[in-house]
Amino acid sequence: MVSGSCLCGELTYQVRLYADKIFNCHCRFCRKAHGADYVTLALADANTLTLVDHKKLLREHKNSLGGYRAFCACCGTRLMNYGPDKNKYLSIVVNTLDTALSHYPVAHCNTESKAPWCEPYEGIASFEAFPPLGK
Ligand SMILES: [Zn+2]
Ligand SMILES: [Zn+2]
């Protein structure tokens, strides 16, 4: 299990990550939502997720594909993404973790929509679309 939190600290969570399923997503949705060249995500076991949200600050943005991007309404931190059925897909924004990671990203994905100035670093796999990460 790992622990994470948003920038203001009002939202905290614990979850079990699939440590071998960490990737850098260069898709245009992640780029816009984070205001960054890419975001590092880890797939996680939704059955293990516990979220502490005393002030009811977690907000969800539903995208056109039916998925949700969750963020803190106080500080704006993007915490996680999930489908309508969280058990089928849950990904955690790795940079919100407070636990040191024992594994590093295994791949760059969705590089077909990467920022033109961004050169994904070498040493790991690179996929133009979403890689077959499975579970
Ligand atoms: Zn916050
Ligand atoms: Zn993405």
Interval 11-64: pLDDT, tens? 999 999 998 899 999 999 999 999 999 999 999 999 999 999 999 999 999 988
pTM above 0.85, yes or no: yes
Kindly tell me if the per-residue pLDDT of 77 is higher than 60.
yes
Distance 25 CA to ligand 2 centre (A): 4
d(CA 70, CA 83) in angstroms, rounded, equals 11
Distance 23 CA to ligand 1 centre (A): 24
Q: In terms of DSSP bridges, do strands 12-25 and 2-5 run parallel, antiparallel, or are they unpaired?
A: antiparallel
Distance 71 CA to ligand 1 centre (A): 8
Distance 85 CA to ligand 1 centre (A): 24
